[in-house]
A = this chain, B = another copy of it.
Amino acid sequence: MTKKINGALGGIKVLDLTRVLAGPFSTMMLADMGAEVIKIEIPGKGDDSRQFGPFKNGESSYYMNLNRNKKGITLNLKSQRGKEVFLELVKKADVVMENYRPGTMEKLGIGYEKLKKVNPRLVYGCVSGFGHYGPYKDRAGYDIIGQAMGGLMSTTGWPDGEPTRTGTAMGDVLAGLSVTIGVLSALRYRDVTGIGQKVDVSLVDSVVASLEIINQIYLVDGKIPQRIGNRYESVYPYDSFKAKNGSLVIGCGNDKLWSKLCDVMDNAELASDERYDKNPKRVALNKDVKKIVERWTLTKSVDELIDVMLNAGIPCAPINNIEQVVKDPHIADAREMFVEVEHPNAGKIKITGSHIKLYETKPYIKTPSPTLGEHNNYVLKEYLNYCDEEINELYENNII
């Protein structure tokens, strides 16, 4: 069997009702890998994030980044005719994705049970703050809610400081990645058995799942993990350290790396010091170890330190700001993490590239994000065989 398709997910059709971040981040990855993603927006208004800056020529780069490679249609799902069109599209789709508050689709009369009747092979992915069952299911859940309730904020920050939100919408990102995994797995089950299903991912659950050893510390030892700054609970030295002209991070994951670090610090005595020779001892005495290492790092510049440590095979890195990330030859050039796309209104703009590198079916950015309703004609003709007259009628009645 040798059959070429366009992208790893070529041929998969996704109806995308998601807005703002978690859902669009998921369907963005599907689109980058070749799925045909049809984003459905409210006529005349569109996704809320079309209003989020920064803007280029009046176009939201927030929206342009997360919705590249997608096709865009408008559809009024509150109208009877709009629902009919949606259900006709569902018959042709492999996946429906949404990130409404649980119950919203049911109120519209197009909940999963209804869609399943129309298309039993459908995979239905949904992202919400708290998930589609459980006592808090009706609560709205933005990213900060997920980070706070899931315990992530309580463990991010400094011993003497406040609980701290991670500097990106990490709850949304984690949920977007997770629902993608669920949907792809459900598609595989559908391909084998013919049976579709619902995939329910919440921001809070996704944050909880990300806490790995943090949860275990409480579950096993009954200790409540605290904010411990930049170090890690399980290994040391694994922390940030002050240099002459800034800070850097060093990650010595095992005893061999510790001994290498003692070598580059020219501290043979330390290497043989039994107080620090095993990782659990260094974790327990992390404050002392930090002082010892910092006494050395403070004598050199960040660049000097990184040079000498990389040469010795010791994991370390500068703490890049975003400008340094965007200009980094490895990240930006070799790994193509920032990609130019030409948008009809915004002109040329750089957005974040795909980070999932498939060697045979390389994900790439083929098209900019859609303007509002850009693909109404294409989708209604291609998927539903509508004629111009029918499409005009939909426009006239504000259905699309």
Contact = CB atoms under 8 A, between A and B. Distances in A.
A197 B361 CA distance: 8
Interface in A328-351: 328-331, 333-335, 337-338, 349-351
Contacts of A197: 358-361
Copies in the complex: 2
Contact of A181 (B136, B184, B228, B330): B184
B158 A53 contact: no
A144 interface: yes
Nearest to A147: B249
Given A164-B230, A181-B181, A212 B65 contact: yes
A201 B141 contact: no
Contact of A199 (B2, B141, B212, B358): B358
A259 to B, nearest CB: 15
Interface stretch (A85-93, A216-224, A375-383): A216-224
A154 interface: yes
Given A142-B315, A181-B177, A216-B61, A352 B148 contact: no
A59 to B, nearest CB: 10
Q: Number of contact residues on A: which range applies?
A: 35 or more
A143 B139 CA distance: 33
Interface stretch (A4-12, A75-83, A267-275): A4-12
Interface stretch (A39-47, A166-174, A366-374, A387-395): A166-174
A158 B161 contact: yes
Nearest to A197: B360
Interface in A1-34: 1-5, 8-12, 20-21, 25, 29, 33
Given A145-B317, A217-B322, A337 B134 contact: no
Contacts of A254: 48
Given A152-B167, A191-B191, 9 more contacts: A2-B195, A11-B192, A142-B315, A162-B229, A167-B214, A173-B210, A174-B174, A179-B356, A186-B358
